Structure 1
Amino acid sequence: MKRVYIMLLISLLFVCAGCSGKIGHGVVLWSIPEQGLSDGDIVPVYAKSNISKVYIIGLPDSKQKLEVPLWQISPPESKRKAQQTASYYAEYRRRYARAALDGLPIRAEPVNTANQVYRLRLNEVIKILYKGEGQAVMVGKNPLEGEWLRVLTEDGSRGWCFSYNLRLFDETKAGSDAAETIEEKDALLDEVLAKRWVPDFYKGIIDSGKIDLTRINAGYGFDTGAESGTISICLDNLSITEEFRGAEKTGINIYSFKETPITMTVQSPDTIVVQHVGKDGLPSSYGFVSLEKSGIPQFLSLNRLSENLLASEDGVPLAPADTESEEDGEKTAAEWINELIAYEKERRLKQYLVLSSHGPVFSSSNYGVLTLKEDAVFTWTGFRLLSNSGLLPSSLRTADAGRGKVAIKYFIAGELESQFDGILSFSFNGSDTDVHFLYKMEETGLRLENIAPGSLKKSTVSARSSNPLVLFFAKR
C-alpha cells in the first residue's frame, strides 16, 4: 500500500511540474462536446501520466486544463506537425459509425483473415480515422462492396473494419443516425426473400439442354416464407417445414431464421446455400439458385419463340419476339417447372411420332417384326433369338410376341449425337426390366444397337458398347 501511495505521489508531482510548460500539441481523436472540443481540433498538451494513462491538455481560448484518456489525443508533437496530423484525419472529421452487425470484428490488418482486436456490439459507435488499402472481402467469387477503414473505439482500441456492415454518420447534422439505433432493412435480405428458389443443379440441366425428368420435380425448392409465412426445403427424400419468424444477420451475408434450425449464406443475390441442422445435431447444406439464374424462364421463352417461328409464314413471328406474357412474372417456381416438364414430355412425344411415322412397321429376318404405334404402344414378334441370347428379358423366351410401352426418355451425348437419333426404351408387359437401344432412322428402315449394362448414367449414354449388337429392320 505504501508503495502505491509513493507512486501516485510521484505521478502527481510529475503532472504538477509539467503544468508550467507544454510538452507539445495533440489532435483530438474523439469529440468532447461538453468541453466544446471536436475531433480534429488541435490542443496544447502539458503533461502525460503513464500511470493514470491520461494527458493534461489545455482548452483553446481558456486557461482551463483538462485530463483526458491517452487514446483520445494523438501523441504530442510540434504544432506544425500536429497540423499535418490533423490534415491526415480531415477527410473523416466529425464522421462516426454504428455497427449494423452484432459481433462485427475489428482486425489488426486490413485483411479479412487478420487477427481480431475487438468485436463490436450491434449499434456500438466508433470513430472513423481514415481509410486504407486492403485485401478485398469476397463472398463466393464476388467482392463485397465497401472499403477498409481505420477505426477507434470508445475504450481506445484501434484497428481495421470493413465498411459493409457499418452505418456512417456526421455528428454535426441534426437528426442524424448519431441519436438513433439501427433498425433499417437489409436490402440484400429483402431481395433474397422475395425471389423464387430452385435446386442449383437445375441450372446445369438447363445449360446442357437435356431436360432429365427423373431429376426435376415441381415441388423441389426453397420457400423463404416471405409470402407463405412458412420456410420450407423440399428435395429428393427431404421435406422440412418451419414457421417463419423473421431472419437476423449473424455474419457477413449469413442469416439465421429465428427459432428454427435453418441458416442461409448468400453467395450472391442469385445463389444461396441453406443449412439445416437435423435432429441428430448434424448440419446438412443445400445449394439453390434463383429461378431467373436457373435459366428456366429464358429456356422456355426461346422455345416459345422457335415454335412461333415454325408456325409462321415466311419467318414472320405470329406474336411479339420476346414471347413473354404478363402472367409470366406472377408464376410460382412450381408453375415454371410444370411448364418445363410439359414442354419436355411434348418434345419427346414429337420425336417418337417422327419415328413412328417413318414406319410404323419394321421387319428383320433375324430379329422379327417391330411395330411402333402412335399411342406409344409396341408389338414385337419373332424375337426369340434375342431373348435366348439374353438381350431381351428371359421371361420372354417362351413367348411368340411381346407387347408393351415404348418411350424416348434418355439422352445421348458426345460423338453419339452425330451417329444416332436417340434412345428407345421398351417396357415389356410382365417384365420389370426395361430394354434400351440406341436408334438411327435410315432411309430404308431402322437401325438399333444394344446399350451395354452400366452405360446409362444420369439418364445419359455417352459411349457405345465395346462389342455392340446391331439390329437392322427394314420398312415394310
Structure 2
Amino acid sequence: MKRVYTILLISLLFVFAGCSGKMGYGVVLWSIPEQNLYDGEIVPVYAKSNISKVYIIGLPDSKQKFEVPLWQISAPESKRKAHKTASYYAEYRRQYARATVDGLPIRAEPVNTANQVYRLRLNEMIKILYKGEGQAVMVGKKALNGEWLRVLTSNGSRGWCFSYNLRLFDETASDAGAAETVEEKDEQWERITATRWVPDFYKEIIDSGKIDIARLNPAYGFDEGSESGFISLSLADISISEEFRGAEKTGFNMYSLKDTPFTITVQSPDAITVQYVGKDGLPSSYNFITLEKSGIPQFLALNRPSPTELSAQPLLPSDKENFMPEPDAGTAVDAEMDAAEKQTEQKPASEYVKELISYEQERRLKQYLSISSHGPVFVSSNYGILTLNEDGGFIWSGFRLLHNSGILPSSLRTADAGRGKATVKYFIAGELENQFDGVLTFSFAGTDTEVNFLYKIEETGLRLENITAGSIKKSTVAARSSNPLVLFFAKR
C-alpha cells in the first residue's frame, strides 16, 4: 500500500512540476468571459493534469493562474508557433453558431455519411474554428447551400458540421446569438400558418396538362401544426407527425419548430422548404408551394362543368327522381357566379386534390368509352377477337400468334380466352399526340403483368401498337418502340 502512495505522489509531482515555469503557450479556443479572455488570445500554460483533465494557465501580463478544461486551450507550444496557430483560427475569431434544428449531427469527416461524433440540441451553441473542404450535401440532385465547418462543442467534442442548419453570430453582438421567439405579429409566420401547403411537383403536373393520378394523394402536404396541434409532413416516401410546441425564428427567413427535427425556410411568399432530420442524423428537404401556386383551383374552375352545362346534360335514370326544373337564364347565371365565389372559400387542399383525381378518373373513363363504343367487338384474322365492355372488362380470344411474341403474358394458354381489365391510365407526348389517340392498358386476370399499346381509332376499326418495357416514364410515353408490332382489328 505504501508503494502505491509513493507512485501516486511521484506522478502528481511530475504533473505539476511545471507550475513554476511554463510548458509553453496555448490559444484560447472557447472564450472565458469571467476571466476577460476570449477565443484567439494567446496565454501561458504552466501545467497539465491528466487526472483532472485541466491546464493551469495564466492571464497575459498578470501573475494570476487558474484551471481550464483541456479542450478549451490548444496544445502548448512555443510562443512563435502559438501565434501561427492563432492566425489559423483568425477567420472565425469570436464566431459562434446555434443549431436551428434538433439532432443536427457533427461528423468525424466533412462528408454527410461520415460517423457522427455528436448531435446538437436545438439552439445549442458551438464554436466555429475554421472552414474546410468537403463533399457537397445533396437533396435529390440539388446541392444544399452551405459549407463544412470545423466546430467545437461546450463539452470539448470536435468535428465537422454543415452550415445549412447553423445560425452564425458574433459573440460581441448584443443578442449573443439568442434564439428569437416568433412574435404574434410576425407577418411571415402568420402567412405560413394560414397557407395550404402542397408538394411543389403538383405545379409540374398541372402545367403539363397530364394529370398523373399515381403522383397525387389527398394526404400529401405540410401542416406546421399551430392550429391542429400536430406538425405533419406527408409524401410518398415519408409520413411524419410531431406535437407542435411553438416556433422560433432563427434567421431572416428561417423558423425552427421547437423540440422537433423540423425547420422551415421561406423561399418566397408562395414556396417553403421543410427540412427534417431523421433518427440517422441525415437531413432531408422537401419543397412545398401554396395551393393557389400549384394551379389546381384554377384548373378545376376551367374544367369543371358549369351549372348551365350540367343542366343541358341528359338525366341518368338514377337522377330522374331528383329532377328539378331547368333554371331560367337569370338563375343559371346566378348559380355560376355562386359556384365561382365558392372557389375562393378556404376549404382543405385535400378536397381540391380529391376533386382533381375525380376529374381525371372521369376523363379517362370517357376516353376508354370512346374506344369501347366504337366496337365493342374488334376482330383480326391474325390476332384474334377483342371485346371491350363498357365496364372496362375485356375478353381476348384467338391470340395464338401473339403467344410466343413476348407481348402477352407467357402464362396465358392459347386454348383459353384472356380476361381482365382494360383502362386508359398513361399519356403520350410529343409527336405521338399527332399519330395516336392514347395508350390502352390490359391487366390480365391471374397475372401481375400489364400490357400496353398505343392505340388509334380508325374508321373501320382499332389499331394497336405494342410498347416495350421501359417506354413509360412518369406515366408518359414519349417515343415508339424501335421495332413495334402493329395489330389491326376491324370492328364487327
TM range (shorter): 0.5 to 0.7
Q: Equivalences for 1:54-73 in 2 at 5 Å?
A: none
**Long gaps (5+) in structure 1:** 1-113, 120-139, 141-154, 158-180
Q: How far does residue 312 in structure 1 lie from its aligned partner after superposition?
A: 5.1
Letter in 2 for 1:380: W
Would the aligned equivalents of 1:379 and 1:402 in 2 still touch at CA under 8 Å?
yes
What corresponds to 2:289 in structure 1?
A: 289
Q: Counterparts of 1:332 and 1:411 in 2: how far apart (Å)?
A: 29
Q: Counterparts of 2:341 and 2:388 in 1: how far apart (Å)?
A: 38
Letter in 2 for 1:215: R
Looking at CA atoms only, which structure, 1 or 2, has the larger radius of gyration?
1
| SS of residue paired to 2:267 | strand
Letter in 2 for 1:420: F
Q: Counterparts of 2:384 and 2:447 in 1: how far apart (Å)?
A: 19
What corresponds to 2:210 in structure 1?
A: 210
Q: Counterparts of 2:366 and 2:465 in 1: how far apart (Å)?
A: 22
Decide which of 339, 350, 357 is 1:334's aligned counterpart. Answer: 350
Q: How far does residue 329 in structure 1 lie from its aligned partner after superposition?
A: 1.4
| SS of residue paired to 1:400 | coil
**Long gaps (5+) in structure 2:** 1-90, 97-143, 145-171, 174-180, 314-328
Decide which of 378, 386, 401 is 1:385's aligned counterpart. Answer: 401
Letter in 1 for 2:362: E
Letter in 1 for 2:357: I
Asked whether 1:302 is paired with 2:318, we answer no
Asked whether 1:395 is paired with 2:385, we answer no
Q: Counterparts of 1:210 and 1:416 in 2: how far apart (Å)?
A: 14
Q: Deviations over 1:142-193 (max 9, x none)?
A: xxxxxxxxxxxxx9x9xxxxxxxxxxxxxxxxxxxxxxx9955110110111
Q: Counterparts of 1:448 and 1:307 in 2: how far apart (Å)?
A: 38
Q: Counterparts of 2:190 and 2:92 in 1: how far apart (Å)?
A: 32
Change (3 A) 1:222 1:116: farther
Would the aligned equivalents of 1:304 and 1:323 in 2 still touch at CA under 8 Å?
no
What corresponds to 2:279 in structure 1?
A: 279
Q: How far does residue 453 in structure 1 lie from its aligned partner after superposition?
A: 1.6
Q: How far does residue 116 in structure 1 lie from its aligned partner after superposition?
A: 11
Change (3 A) 1:307 1:422: farther
Q: How far does residue 246 in structure 1 lie from its aligned partner after superposition?
A: 1.8
Q: How far does residue 326 in structure 1 lie from its aligned partner after superposition?
A: 2.7
| SS of residue paired to 1:388 | coil
Change (3 A) 1:258 1:333: same
Q: How far does residue 282 in structure 1 lie from its aligned partner after superposition?
A: 1.1
Q: How far does residue 224 in structure 1 lie from its aligned partner after superposition?
A: 1.6
What corresponds to 1:467 in structure 2?
A: 483
Would the aligned equivalents of 1:364 and 1:473 in 2 still touch at CA under 8 Å?
yes
Decide which of 341, 346, 358 is 2:374's aligned counterpart. Answer: 358
Q: How far does residue 321 in structure 1 lie from its aligned partner after superposition?
A: 6.2
Letter in 1 for 2:188: L
Q: Equivalences for 1:252-263 in 2 at 5 Å?
A: 252-263=252-263
| SS of residue paired to 1:374 | coil
Q: Equivalences for 1:23-38 in 2 at 5 Å?
A: none
Q: Equivalences for 1:9-408 in 2 at 5 Å?
A: 183=183, 185-304=185-304, 309=309, 319-320=335-336, 323-326=339-342, 329-408=345-424
| SS of residue paired to 1:204 | helix
Q: Counterparts of 1:337 and 1:441 in 2: how far apart (Å)?
A: 31
Q: Counterparts of 1:469 and 1:182 in 2: how far apart (Å)?
A: 64
State how many pairs are aligned: 309
Deviates more, 1:324-333 or 1:447-456: 324-333
Decide which of 438, 448, 451 is 1:435's aligned counterpart. Answer: 451
Q: Counterparts of 1:188 and 1:459 in 2: how far apart (Å)?
A: 37
Would the aligned equivalents of 2:398 and 2:414 in 1 still touch at CA under 8 Å?
no
| SS of residue paired to 1:225 | coil
Would the aligned equivalents of 2:182 and 2:247 in 1 still touch at CA under 8 Å?
no
Q: Counterparts of 2:208 and 2:488 in 1: how far apart (Å)?
A: 31
TM-score, normalised to structure 1, is 0.60
Would the aligned equivalents of 1:305 and 1:322 in 2 still touch at CA under 8 Å?
no
| SS of residue paired to 1:430 | coil
Decide which of 409, 416, 431 is 2:425's aligned counterpart. Answer: 409
The sequence identity of aligned pairs, in percent, is 67
Letter in 1 for 2:186: D
Change (3 A) 1:368 1:182: closer
| SS of residue paired to 2:212 | coil
Q: Deviations over 1:93-138 (max 9, x none)?
A: xxxxxxxxxxxxxxxxxxxxx999999xxxxxxxxxxxxxxxxxxx
Q: Counterparts of 1:444 and 1:399 in 2: how far apart (Å)?
A: 28
Change (3 A) 1:394 1:466: same
| SS of residue paired to 1:324 | helix
Letter in 1 for 2:246: G
Change (3 A) 1:440 1:192: same
Q: Counterparts of 2:463 and 2:94 in 1: how far apart (Å)?
A: 73
Q: Which runs of 4+ in 1 moved over 4 A?
A: 114-119, 181-184, 305-313, 316-319
Would the aligned equivalents of 1:388 and 1:397 in 2 still touch at CA under 8 Å?
no
Q: Deviations over 1:278-336 (max 9, x none)?
A: 111111100001111111111111002579558659xx976426842437513101111
Q: Counterparts of 1:182 and 1:189 in 2: how far apart (Å)?
A: 8
Would the aligned equivalents of 1:362 and 1:446 in 2 still touch at CA under 8 Å?
yes
Would the aligned equivalents of 1:301 and 1:322 in 2 still touch at CA under 8 Å?
no
Decide which of 448, 457, 474 is 2:473's aligned counterpart. Answer: 457
Would the aligned equivalents of 2:402 and 2:408 in 1 still touch at CA under 8 Å?
yes
Q: How far does residue 384 in structure 1 lie from its aligned partner after superposition?
A: 1.4
Would the aligned equivalents of 1:376 and 1:405 in 2 still touch at CA under 8 Å?
yes
Letter in 2 for 1:440: K
What corresponds to 2:50 in structure 1?
A: none
Q: Counterparts of 2:234 and 2:461 in 1: how far apart (Å)?
A: 46
Q: Deviations over 1:245-294 (max 9, x none)?
A: 22111112111111111000001111000000111111110000111111
| SS of residue paired to 2:470 | coil
| SS of residue paired to 1:352 | helix
| SS of residue paired to 2:228 | coil
Change (3 A) 1:335 1:271: same
Q: How far does residue 414 in structure 1 lie from its aligned partner after superposition?
A: 0.5
* CA-atom RMSD in angstroms: 3.2
Asked whether 1:419 is paired with 2:435, we answer yes
